[in-house]
Structure 1
Amino acid sequence: MESPFRADLLRGKAALVTGGGSGIGFEIAAQLARHGAHVALMVRRREVLDKAVAALRSEGLTAVGFDGDVRKQEDAARVIAATVEHFGKLDILVNGAAGNFLASPEDLKPKGFRTVLDIDTVGTYTMCYEALKYLKKGGPGRVPSSSGLIINISATLQYTAAWYQIHVSAAKAGVDSITRSLALEWGTDYDIRVNGIAPGPIQDTPGMRKLAPEEMSKEKRENDAII
């Protein structure tokens, strides 16, 4: 699909995308770069990171990768600082790193529940917290009249309820709350825009392959056809 936006819309902008090695995160990074942004990816697994950066560079796009875990504050601080050092500034932070798996509440141990919250919710806040000094007006590489943008990737399943997704529903509800609170407070204090994006199921992504095995997908298609 051809983009409705100018190819140079984000020229000169520097963006950092967590979870940018695959799926939604990778496509977001690619679209940012295709519209002129310089993009940094933060991914936990080095082999996934290297493959994603190579794919972007093969299109002639400006991309760099830093391995790190959003659950670790020291990794968040290091990767953000490295992005600013590499590009001279940070304009856009996309929090896309997430964890998910199917589990019924009676089988889901608190450790597993906590792991998803640590990645999705705490990880999102940690990245925002460490990025603030670079995104606010007058931050490193930024003029006094210009502030940055934060985009938090959420979901739609927490709006009602979803089978085997109690951990993710809780985590994404937390992400939504963080987005609203920071939009209010940092929008007022620092003129930083904080937006949330809540994608539903997207075909042919790692998330769909993990959460909707073929037999489940087939059943859903048959039910949709009946409806």
Structure 2
Amino acid sequence: MKSLTSEWGRYGLRFNCIAPGPIETEGAFSRLDPTGNFKDAMYNRIPAGRLGEVEELANLASYLVSDYSSWIAGEVIAFDGGQYTYMAGSFSSLDKVTNDEWDSLEKLIRTSNKKSKL
């Protein structure tokens, strides 16, 4: 997208890409996940806590081809409820830490900070 945009932008052409996450459709999910086990596991990897909807994808695509987005060029738009950045994060598993564990961690950090100031 970036290469095409830099080469053809001077002619008024824009190139953008949508990188969608899981969007439930009967055709895809009945073939790729007939048991529903994969779908259940997906929810744990999407910070938004849900799958995308076809209408949302259509709205984004409509916006990108409209005059309202004429300044957007050469972009890859992750349309996945935060899944890509969540999966790429080194500390993403911290979402499994309980409130009590957070309290313990906070106490350890505060104690450590006090000692380092001495």
TM-score (norm 2): 0.29
Q: Which has the higher strand share?
A: 1
Scaled by the length of structure 1, the TM-score of the pair is: 0.17
Larger Rg: 2
